[in-house]
Structure 1
Amino acid sequence: MTENFKLRIFTEPQQGASYDDLLRVAKRAEDAGYDAFFRSDHYLKMGDVSGQPGPTDAWVTLGGLARETSRLRLGTLMSAGTFRLPGPLAISVAQVDQMSGGRIELGLGSGWYEEEHTAYGIPFPSLKERFDRYAEQLEVVTGLWSTPEGETFSFDGQHYQLTDSPALPKPVQSPRPPVLVGGGGKKRTPELAARFADEFNLPFVDVETAAAQFGRVEAACSEIGRDPAEIVRSAALVLCAGKDEGQLARRAEAIGREVGELRANGLAGSPDEVVDKIGDWRDRTGITRLYLQVLDLSDLDHLDLVAEQVAPQL
Structure 2
Amino acid sequence: MTQNFTLRIFTEPQQGASYDDLLRVAKHAEDTGYDAFFRSDHYLKMGSVAGDPGPTDAWVTLGGLARETSRLRLGTLMTAGTFRLPGPLAISVAQVDQMSGGRVEFGLGSGWYEEEHTAYGIPFPSLKERFDRYAEQLEIITGLWETPEGETFSFDGQHYQLTDSPALPKPAQRPRPPVLIGGAGKKRTPALAARFADEFNLPFVDVDTAAAQFERVDAACQAIGRDSGEIVRSAAMVLCVGKDEAELARRAQAIGREVDELRANGLAGTPAEVVDKIGSWRERTGISRLYLQVLDLTDLGHLDVVASEVAPQL
- Pair in the same fold by TM > 0.5: yes
The 4+ residue runs of structure 1 with deviation greater than 4 A are none
Counterpart residue number, 1:122: 122
Match for 2:225: what amino acid? G
Match for 2:223: what amino acid? E
- TM-fit CA distance, 1:3: 7.8
> Alignment identity in percent?
87
Counterpart residue number, 1:38: 38
User: Partner of 1:29: helix, strand, or coil?
Assistant: helix
Match for 1:86: what amino acid? P
User: 2-side partners of 1:214 and 1:148: how far apart?
Assistant: 33
Counterpart residue number, 1:202: 202
User: 2-side partners of 1:244 and 1:3: how far apart?
Assistant: 30
Alignment check: 8 A CA contact 2:109 2:182 kept: yes
Counterpart residue number, 1:144: 144
**Superimposed CA distance per residue, residues 253-286 of structure 1 (whole angstroms, 9 cap, x where no aligned partner):** 0000000000000000000000000000000000
User: 1-side partners of 2:150 and 2:14: how far apart?
Assistant: 40
Counterpart residue number, 1:77: 77
Counterpart residue number, 1:280: 280
**Tell me, which stretches of 5 or more residues in structure 2 are unaligned?**
none
- TM-fit CA distance, 1:153: 0.2
Counterpart residue number, 1:310: 310
User: Partner of 1:124: helix, strand, or coil?
Assistant: coil
RMSD: 0.8
Match for 1:126: what amino acid? S
Match for 2:311: what amino acid? A
Match for 1:256: what amino acid? G
TM-score (norm 1): 0.99
Match for 1:204: what amino acid? F
Counterpart residue number, 1:106: 106
Match for 1:30: what amino acid? E
Counterpart residue number, 1:250: 250
Match for 2:172: what amino acid? V
- TM-fit CA distance, 1:228: 0.1
Counterpart residue number, 1:18: 18
Counterpart residue number, 2:269: 269
Alignment check: 8 A CA contact 2:97 2:172 kept: yes
- TM-fit CA distance, 1:308: 0.2
- TM-fit CA distance, 1:175: 1.2
User: 2-side partners of 1:8 and 1:299: how far apart?
Assistant: 16
Counterpart residue number, 1:95: 95
Match for 1:262: what amino acid? L
Counterpart residue number, 1:165: 165
- TM-fit CA distance, 1:99: 0.1
Alignment check: 8 A CA contact 2:3 2:288 kept: no
User: 1-side partners of 2:294 and 2:104: how far apart?
Assistant: 20
Match for 1:192: what amino acid? L
Match for 2:125: what amino acid? P
User: 2-side partners of 1:167 and 1:140: how far apart?
Assistant: 10
Counterpart residue number, 1:226: 226
Counterpart residue number, 1:298: 298
User: 1-side partners of 2:206 and 2:254: how far apart?
Assistant: 23
**Superimposed CA distance per residue, residues 1-28 of structure 1 (whole angstroms, 9 cap, x where no aligned partner):** x980010000000000000000000000
User: 2-side partners of 1:272 and 1:69: how far apart?
Assistant: 31
**Superimposed CA distance per residue, residues 38-67 of structure 1 (whole angstroms, 9 cap, x where no aligned partner):** 000000000000000000000000000000
TM-score (norm 2): 0.99
User: Partner of 1:162: helix, strand, or coil?
Assistant: strand
**Tell me, which stretches of 5 or more residues in structure 1 are unaligned?**
none
Alignment check: 8 A CA contact 2:77 2:107 kept: yes
Match for 2:270: what amino acid? S
User: 2-side partners of 1:39 and 1:8: how far apart?
Assistant: 10
